[in-house]
Structure 1
Amino acid sequence: MTLTQLEIFSLVAELQGFTSAAHRLGISQSAVSHAIKALEQELGVALFRRHQTTVELSEIGAQLLGRARAMLGLANTLAQEAADARGMKRGTLRIGSFGPTASIGLLPPILSRFRQVYPGIEVHVDEGPDRQVIQWLDERRVDIGFVVLEQERFDTVPLLEDQLVALLPAGHRLAASEAVTLQALCDEPFILTEAGSSELVMRLFSQARLQPQVRYRCAQLLSTLEAVSRGDGLSVVAQASLPERADSRYVALPLAPRVPRRIGLAVLDRRLSSPATLAFIALAQKLYPSST
């Protein structure tokens, strides 16, 4: 069993195909097939169920995938620690990010500084909804991720606190209010933004025993802003995710009572994190010191 085999196994599982994994790795499909077959023969189990155009993990394959990714993570940490002894000239850092707050607000300045200090570290950034970043952390597909706090099963570092706000069309009857209650948002069609803190938003309604009339689910904040501006419905978004330039077509108002939201970085276990991961955390704390 080799690390290369485990890497191919992990990538085939992620992409659900031998051909796509081969393209990603820059090798032939036959090489991918051979590596998986050799690994299956050594382990004595079938890791995948083969279909005409795709593959899916077998039950034992799904069970072993987490172990494989843990081994790959430890191997990466080992390589990083060796690189650290040489001044961290080489290595890889995988980052999970979500929504405008992290991907547009927090990440760019940290990443810019990190690349200046550690130009030899290859950085990969995957973007998805906040719940997907948590899944990536659990599956060890990323080394570090931006998350909505609190996340008790991870080691976390807070970076930013903002608040959730109600989003209304500029001409709405509540637009002149100082704040908006969750109950008021249940009286009209609701637009749920799934790119950001959608689970936090729905949990708020659930805890208040309220049920919003969800009519639209938007994958991107921009779509939500456009839908609200047209008068298609109301929404709740994070204040820090809104564009810096004001838009006269919609109004953002605090919720009553106020609902804070904290964003931070998370790792599975800081003690096992690679030097590159720890260096990224250190730079983030220097750039956002007020919340630490």
Structure 2
Amino acid sequence: MTLTQLEIFSLVAELRGFTAAATRLGIGQSAVSHAIKSLEQELGVELFRRHQSVVELSDIGQQLLLRARAMLGLANTLCQEAADARGMRRGTLRIGSFGPTSSMKLLPELLRRYRALHPGIEVHIDEGPDRQVIQWLDERRIDVGFVVLPEERFDTFMLMEDQMVALLPASHPLAAQASLSLKDLCNDPFVHTEAGSSELVTRLFNTARLTPNVRFRCSQLLSTLDVVRRGEAVSVVSEGSLPDDENPGYVARPLSPRVPRQIGLAVLDSRQASPATLAFIELARQP
């Protein structure tokens, strides 16, 4: 068993295809098939179920995938520690990011400073909803992720705090109020954004035992803002995610009672984090 076999196995599982994995790796499909076949023969189990051009993990394959990713993560840490001894001249950092707050307001400046300090570190960024970043951390697909705190099962580092706000069309009758309750937002059509802090919004309404009249679900914040701007719905979003716009066509009002939102970085275990990951966290926490 080699790390190359495990890397190929992990990528085939992620992309659900031998051809897609071969394309990503820049090798022939026959090489991918041979690596998986050799691994299956060595382990004595079938890792995938083949369905024409699509493959799915077998039950034992799903169990072994978590182990394989853990081994690949530890191998990456070992390489990073060696690179650290050489001055971190080479290495890889995989970052998970969600929503405009982290992807547009926190990451750009962080990446600029990080690359200036560590130009030899190759940075990969995956973007998705907040719950997706949590899944990527659990599956070891990323080294560090931006998350909404608290997240008890990870080692976390708080970076910033903003608040959740009600979003209303500029012409809405409640737009003149200084603040709004969640109950105020249950009488109108509601647009739920899957990006950003979607889990937090759902949890807020559930805790208050309220059910918003969800008519729209948008995967991007800009689509959510457009729905509100057209007067078709109201919403709840984070204040830090809103773009700087002098005439947005909507109004944002604090929730009452105030609902703070904390954004931080999370890793599975800081004791096993690579030097490249720890350097990124240290830089992010600087004032």
- Structure 1 length-normalised TM: 0.98
Q: CA deviation at 1:167?
A: 0.4
Instruction: Provide the residue aligned with 2:120 in structure 1.
Output: 120
Find the residue that maps to 2:256 and give its secondary structure: coil
Where does 1:52-63 land on structure 2 (aligned, <5 Å)?
A: 52-63=52-63
Where does 1:1-292 land on structure 2 (aligned, <5 Å)?
A: 1-286=1-286, 289=287
Find the residue that maps to 2:148 and give its secondary structure: strand
Q: Identity of paired residues, percent?
A: 74
CA distance in 2, matches of 1:269, 1:55: 31
- Size of the aligned set, in residue pairs, is 287
CA distance in 1, matches of 2:247, 2:112: 29
Structure 1 gap segments, 5+ residues each: none
CA distance in 2, matches of 1:256, 1:282: 35
Structure 2 gap segments, 5+ residues each: none
Q: CA deviation at 1:247?
A: 2.8
Find the residue that maps to 1:180 and give its secondary structure: coil
Find the residue that maps to 1:270 and give its secondary structure: coil
RMSD over aligned Cα, in angstroms? 0.6
CA distance in 2, matches of 1:20, 1:131: 25
CA distance in 1, matches of 2:217, 2:101: 19
Q: CA deviation at 1:248?
A: 3.9
Q: CA deviation at 1:246?
A: 2.8
Q: CA deviation at 1:200?
A: 0.4
CA distance in 2, matches of 1:121, 1:263: 24
CA distance in 1, matches of 2:216, 2:246: 23
CA distance in 1, matches of 2:150, 2:188: 30
Find the residue that maps to 2:176 and give its secondary structure: coil
Q: CA deviation at 1:46?
A: 0.4
CA distance in 2, matches of 1:175, 1:3: 58
Offset from partner CA, 1:51-73 (integer Å, 9 cap, x none)? 11110100000000000000000
CA distance in 2, matches of 1:231, 1:202: 22
